[in-house]
Chain A
C-alpha cells in the first residue's frame, strides 16, 4: 500500500503541490488527473525519489514492512518495487530494444562487478535468465520482432510500450505510468487500456497512472484523484468524479 501524507513541494516561491493526500491500495488501478501544470508529474517525481518533498511523507508498506519512500534514493525505491515510465519518453537511445529491457533487470543482479567481468557461472546463469525474461516481456508487449532494432528507430507508440516493458523487467509491485496514452490515436488508446488491464492481471500489479485521455481514466480506473493548481479537489470512483462540480469547473471553467 502506498500512502502519500500531507505532501507539499515548493520550488522557490512556487507551490507545485500543496498538502496532498492519497492512498493507493494494493492491486488497484488508480488514476491521477488534472489540467496542465496541476502538479501530477511532480507527485510522481516525489514518489519515485527524483524530488524530495518539502513537507510531508510518503510511505510504502509491503510484506508487513514499512518504507519511508520520501527519504530514499530513486534506485532504492525501484528495488523495493516501485517503478515508473516517463511522460517525455526516456529510453536508452543508442541501445537495442532488447538491451533496454535487459538493463531493467540489472538491479536484481546478485553477482558483484568482478564475478560479472570474469563471467563466473553464477553470473552467466543469471544473465541468461535476464535475456529469457526480457524476450518474454517483449513478446508480451508485442515488440519481439523488433528486438534488435535501435530503440530510437521505433515509432512513438512502440517506444511507450518498450518503456513499460523495461519497467516490468525491474519486477515492480506498483507501476507508475506517466501519460501512457499521450500522442496515441483512439484505436491505439483502446489497445493500451486493454494492455494495461492485461499486464496488471498477469504480473499482479498495482497501477497508478497519470492521464489526459478521459476515456482511459474513466474506463479502467477504480479510483481517481483530481488535482488542480497543486491542490486535491476531488477523489472517488469515475462516476462521482464525472458529476463533481469542482472538477467540471477546473476543466471547463465557469462564467
Chain B
C-alpha cells in the first residue's frame, strides 16, 4: 500500500512537471509571471500552514520573515555597481556592498538568516499562547519593517532596493515550491509531525507523554520561517524592486487567507488554494475598474477585489469550520471503500 502511494505521488509529480514545461514554453511573459507567482504563494502558504495549521501556533509574523528573506536575497545577488547606484543617500556598508553570490547560495542563506531571526524571536515569544502569541509575532513583523526603514546603510531605508536580478524563472520558483511541499509533507508524516499534531490537540497530554513542547514548537517555527524566507527571496527576485511598505501586515493576511481557504492542516489544500487565489487575484482585476453593463456603468473602486476576497473568506469560515467538510468526505470515502 505504501509503495502504491509512492508511485502515485511520483506520477503526479511527473505530470505537474510536464504541465509546467509546456506552460513555460507556450505562455507569454505576463501569464508566466502569474504561474510563477503561484509557486511563490505555495511556498508561503505551506510554510505558514506548518506553523499555524499543524502546530496550532497562532503566528502572524509571516510578512516579517518574508521581508528578511527578500532583503537578504536581494543584497546577496545584486552586483556591487547596482548597489552603489541604489545607495545614493548614504553608502552601503562596504562588506555588504562587495559581496555577490549565485542565486542558489543566496536564497539558502536567506532562508537560514530568516530561520535565525525566528530563533531569536521564538525563544522568548513561544511561551505565549493564542492571541498573545499573535500580537507578539505581529509586533515582531512590524519591528522588522521599522528596522528596515531606519537602517539606511544596510537596506537603503524607505527608498527600498531596485534592480534586483530576476532569477524567478519557472524552474527556480516551481523547483523550490515542489521541494518545500515535499519536505514539509515528509516532516508532518514523520514522528515529529505527529508530535506537533499532538501538541496542537492537547498540550498537557503531549507533555505528559514526554514531548518537549517548547523545543517542538520552536523547531516548527524555525522551519516555517526558513521556507517563508525562501518565498520572500523569490518574491523580491521576481518583483525586481522591494521596499519596507511591501511587507505590511496585510501581506500576512493574504497568506492567512490562502491557508484558511485551503484548510488549516492540509498541505494539498494550501497548494490548491494558493493557485486559485493567485490566479483569481489577477483574473478579478476587472472588479477594480469601471464595468460597463450596457445600460449602466459601475464606477471602478480600487480595492474591490479585496472586498470580494474578504467576503469569500467570511463565507468559508462560516460554512467550513476546521475543514470539517474534508473530514466528513474522508469518512464517507472510507465507509464506501469498506462496503465494497
Contact = CB atoms under 8 A, between A and B. Distances in A.
Nearest to A89: B205
B209 A170 contact: yes
B123 interface: no
B208 A95 contact: no
Nearest to B202: A90
A119 B198 CA distance: 21
A94 B187 contact: no
Interface in A228-247: none
Nearest to B213: A75
Pick the most buried of A106, A109, A166: most chain B CB atoms within 10 A of its CB: A106
A113 B211 contact: no
B195 interface: yes
B204 interface: yes
A73 B195 contact: no
Contacts of A166: 209
Interface in A124-145: 127, 130
Interface residues of B, number: 24
The binding surface of chain B is classed by DSSP as helix
A106 B211 contact: yes
Contacts of B204: 50, 74, 86, 90
Given A50-B204, A50-B208, A107-B211, A118 B186 contact: yes
Contacts of B212: 73, 75
B25 interface: no
Contacts of A73: 207, 212
A86 B203 CA distance: 13
Interface of A: 48-50, 73-75, 78-79, 83-84, 86, 90-95, 99, 102-107, 109, 113, 116-119, 123, 127, 130, 166-167, 170
21 contacts: A48-B208, A75-B211, A78-B207, A78-B210, A86-B205, A86-B208, A92-B198, A92-B206, A93-B202, A95-B194, A95-B198, A103-B194, A103-B211, A105-B191, A106-B194, A106-B195, A107-B211, A116-B192, A117-B183, A127-B190, A127-B191
